[in-house]
Structure 1
Amino acid sequence: MDQKKWKRHYLLRSLILSGFAIWIAEMIITERLSHYLAPRLHMLIYVTLVVLIILTVTSIRQIFVGKNEDDCDCDAHKMPQTKWGTLLVYGLFALPLAMGFVMPDKILGSAMAENLGVTLLSNDVRKMAEVNATANSAPHVPAASEQVQDDEAPSAEQASGQDTPQIEQEKQESVLPDSGGKLDDAQLQELFGDSSFGDFYRDIAIYLYKQPIIKLDDKVFLDGLTAMELYAKPFSGKEVETMGFVYHQSDFSELQFVVARFSVSCCTADANVFGILVEDSEAKKYEIDSWVKVRGKLELRSANGYDMLVLRASQVEKVDAPKDPYVYYSFDTPIEN
């Protein structure tokens, strides 16, 4: 291949490499990288940008100071020989690059939520944990002589000091304050003493319960919802403030909508939807995918055998979508101020 054609190929490669580098740099500068990737993967993009810059500089260098003799193209990695081959090879890279620059960014919304389904504030997680805990203990069928002894002796659960789910629920109800009084640390430990859900969510639940107004911000949104799912009854009557996009479902009443957020583990392809069912007299006026900040009190409802927390709104305010519309599990217990 003569030098002119050889340098033209390196010019095309340099343009494509520099295009990808500029595209990634532009997303980083404008803080749009979170529209596609979770923050924990951003470091990989930074490394990719550095590699692309190095490759671009190397490719440009080949144009000006590369070899001066003709190349016979005898090696395995030879340049495309025909115009159609050149168009096909470089088009595979140029097409997605052009789409990245031309197509607008679009965050996930109600259309995707309808396909995925929304996880609401119901304690089905708690019931699953109770079922799993029961399944892990093998049933014991007593003999006839053992049945007489069992009638006279206390049960194994009573002897070992372990509480059944019903007893645990009664303990929670006895600890709950009657008139909005505050609980001390010992009472909170008793209220959220069920450690079958793990110490982390118990600590999150205690942290949230201490707040005069529970603010489910981006950092604590997912962990906070999970904690309130596990300990639904103590949170009934607590005031909550949160933000998200509006989602309406066909089987909702005219007074209901969901304030929802998408959670992302790695990228938007693995997104899931979590939210709180809100009841408000003006629910119909809030358009789908519009962003709102909602404040109100949680009420405990029973639906299909599950306890569900519903947010009775006292204040709904329209807001702009945040720069990063997605939320992530942090697995860090918030520090009290």
Structure 2
Amino acid sequence: MNQAAVKRHYFLRSLILIGFTLLLAQLVATDRLNHYLAPRLHVFSYVTLAILILLTLVSLRQAYLGVNAYECDCEDAHKLPRTWWRSALVYGMFALPLVMGFLMPDQILGSDVAEKRGITLLSNDVRKLAEVMGSGNTAAKNETAVPPAVSEPQLKAQLPANKEADQAPSSVGDTPVNAPKLTDDQIRQKFSNTGFGDFYTDLAVALYKQPVIQLNDKVFLDGLTTMELYAKDFAGKEIETFGFVYRQPDFTSQQFVVARFSVTCCTADASVFGVLVEDEQASKWAKDSWVKVRGKLEARSVDGYDMLVLRANKVEQAKAPKDPYVYYNYDLPESNG
């Protein structure tokens, strides 16, 4: 193969490398990398970007200077494609995902994926897991404990059977309106000696002290887990949270789930978590729309377990966040109380 043909091949390779470099650099610069990869793995993307830049420079040098001989002793096993259709096939395999990456818009996960994977609600299923992990609470801060997802048949069993049951007042763990304010020691005593670990005890105390529990991105997963563990104690507490609207066919017109996706490594392993919301105007909120919900937690007894339902008193439309996913971080929120 003559030098001109060799240079053309290296020029095409350089263009492909430049494309992947620009695509990854664009994702990093615009903070859209979170749509594909968990933040704790971003460092590997930065290393990959540096390697791509280096490979691009080497390929451009070869395209400009050409090569006199193959540098590997592989008996032409890695020779350049010698026909146009082989070239189109080889380079097309790299060009196709590159074009798709630039032309196709980012799509965050939503209800369609949630319906297939199941959703974890405030249903005390996590209590079983926490009791097993309680003896190793020191290591719990370094592990990601993901409660089991609730499939559609299981969720049907957990929802109120009829409107009367739906509207029945909670008899488990309700907080009286005029109850005296507890001291810090009294609050801690409520959550001590449960075997769930020091972290969940500390987080339960921090959340309970808030006049309105802020279940924001930072504590969404850890907060849900904590309220599952101490369902009776958190019944009657007022919370405010934020997420996308998820519904299943068996939901009533007054029910939806305010949900978030949790990503451990990448979106391929995403799980769905949320709170069942009851509101008289729930039907006005479209599926996958983002809402901010404020209301009071009510306890329901289902098959011997306590399930927390958020009785909304305020639902308002919200803008989707820049990073739509939430993560376990085992940090305590700042106390507002």
Structure 1 length-normalised TM: 0.83
TM-superposition CA deviations, 1:211-240 (whole Å, max 9, x none): 111001101000000000000011111110
**1:227 counterpart = 2:230:** no
Q: Which amino acid aligns with 1:233?
A: K
- The structure-2 alpha-carbon separation of the partners of 1:253 and 1:177, relative to structure 1 and needing over 3 Å to count, comes to closer
Q: How does 1:28-47 map to 2 (within 5 A)?
A: 28-47=28-47
Query: What runs of 5+ residues in structure 1 fail to find an aligned partner?
Result: 134-171
Q: 2:96 is aligned with what amino acid?
A: L
Cα gap change, 1:178/1:288 in structure 2, threshold over 3 Å: closer, same or farther?
closer
Structure 2: segments with no counterpart, 5+ residues? 135-171
Name the counterpart of 1:257. 256
Q: Classify the secondary structure of the residue corresponding to 2:123.
A: coil
Give, as a single letter, the amino acid of the residue that structure 2 aligns with 1:55.
L
Q: Pick closer, same or farther for the CA change 1:70–1:253 going to 2, 3 Å.
A: closer
Q: In 2, are the aligned partners of 1:3 and 1:70 still within 8 Å (CA)? A: no
- Cα shift at 1:23: 0.5
The 1:264–1:130 alpha-carbon spacing in structure 2 relative to 1, beyond 3 Å, is: closer
Residue type matched to 2:61 in 1?
R
Work out whether 1:298 is the aligned partner of 2:275.
no
- 1:90-169 to structure 2, matched below 5 A, reads 90-127=91-128, 129=130
Shift of 1:127: 4.7
SS at match of 1:56: helix
| Distance (whole Å) between structure 1 residues aligned to residue 9 and residue 128 of structure 2 | 63
TM-score normalised to structure 2 length? 0.83
**Contact kept in structure 1, 2:257 and 2:274, CA below 8 Å:** yes
Across the two proteins, how many residue pairs are aligned to each other?
A: 297
* C-alpha distance in structure 2 between counterparts of 1:60 and 1:279, whole Å: 61
Task: Look up the match of 2:89.
Answer: 88
For 1:235 and 1:70, locate their aligned partners in 2 and report how far apart those are by CA, in whole Å.
73
Question: 1 CA distance for matches of 2:183 and 2:319?
Answer: 38
Structure possessing the higher radius of gyration over alpha carbons: 1
Shift of 1:92: 1.4
Structure 2 counterpart of 1:307:
306
Aligned to 2:139: none
Give 1:49's aligned residue. 49
Cα distance in 1, alignment partners of residues 263 and 131 from structure 2: 28
Q: Percent identity among equivalent residues?
A: 63
SS in 2 for 1:314: strand
Cα distance change of structure 1 residues 270 and 131 upon mapping to structure 2, 3 Å threshold: closer
Change (3 A) 1:66 1:181: farther
SS at structure 1 position matched to 2:181: coil
Are residues 71 and 51 of structure 1, via their aligned partners in 2, closer, same or farther at CA, if it must alter by over 3 Å?
closer
Which moves more between the two structures, 120-129 or 266-275?
120-129
Residue 5 of structure 2 aligns with which residue?
Answer: 5
Deviations 1:250-276 (A, max 9, x none): 121211110000000000000110000
Residue pair 1:177, 1:183 contacting (<8 A) in 2 also: no
Q: 1:334: Cα distance to partner?
A: 2.9
Q: Name the counterpart of 1:147.
A: none
Is the Cα contact below 8 Å between 1:2 and 1:70 reproduced in 2? Answer: no
Aligned counterparts of 2:88 and 2:107: Cα–Cα separation in 1: 30
SS in structure 2 at match of 1:179: coil
Counterpart amino acid of 1:232?
A
CA 1:16–1:178: 2 relative to 1, 3 Å: same
Contact conserved, 1:7 with 1:63, CA < 8 A, in 2? yes
CA contact (8 A) 2:235 2:299 kept: yes
CA–CA distance in 2 between the matches of 1:257 and 1:178? 27
**How much does 1:91 deviate?**
1.4
Deviates more, 1:80-89 or 1:229-238: 80-89
Distance in 2, matches of 1:3 and 1:128, equals: 65
What code does the residue aligned with 2:24 have? I
